[in-house]
Amino acid sequence: MLREDFPDDVLKLRPRKLRLGRDAERLLNDVCGTEGEHSESVHRNRLRPNAHSINAIRCADCGQIEYISRDYCRCGHYLAGQVMDEFLAWERGLVETRDRLAAAAGEKMKPVRWVGACGMPFIVWPLLHSVFSDGSTPLAIWLWLIPGFAILGLCALIETWITAARDASAHAVEAATFEQFLSERVPLPSH
């Protein structure tokens, strides 16, 4: 009866091959290996992570590599505090970069603002003429708006171009998370 309930594909399923990661295979070899093969110090070092792993941290006290999830190193040093200090230094670096870019963008924007102010009379003159004139305003007066809008539009484009790096840095500071810090703290090895 069970044979009729399932389709034929299900009855022909084959087990999948499973490939464990290097760390898991190394751990299993250490646990399942014979006692005489490895000394205690080699066994202890094999249980430590690789230096280029995202899950590894070098203890500032003894210099050994430990897992980042451990609160204390095997020598007794407080690793969680060391990770938090690294995170705060990374975050401080992001804020300093944002402040430096904001100051540089402010200095570059001063001449652009002056050019924008020079374009304002081209916009204000036709509007004032239309308000204070008795009849209709001729087309030649309204054509003065074109250079004014062109100057202000160009200034807006230049401002967007100058402040792009500052805005990207400000967004990076606002969106900074601990997970991002963990992924950026260890550069990936080139293959």
- Per residue in 80-92, pLDDT (tens digit) is 888 888 888 999 9
The percentage of residues in the chain with a pLDDT greater than 70, rounded to a whole number, is: 72
**73: exposed, middle or buried (Cβ count in 10 Å: 0-12, 13-18, 19+):** buried
Look up the pTM and report it. 0.59
For residue 5 the two structure tokens come to: 């309930």
Task: Check pLDDT > 60 for residue 37.
Answer: no
145/150 Cα distance (integer angstroms): 9
Amino acid 17 reads K
pLDDT band at 17 (very low <50, low <70, confident <90, very high): low
User: Are 131 and 160 within 8 A, CB to CB?
Assistant: no
pLDDT band at 191 (very low <50, low <70, confident <90, very high): very low
171/94 Cα distance (integer angstroms): 10
Residues 140-164 have a mean pLDDT of: 91
Task: Check pLDDT > 50 for residue 3.
Answer: no
Residues 148-173 have a mean pLDDT of: 93
Q: What is the pLDDT of residues 19-36, one digit of tens each?
A: 555 666 566 666 555 554
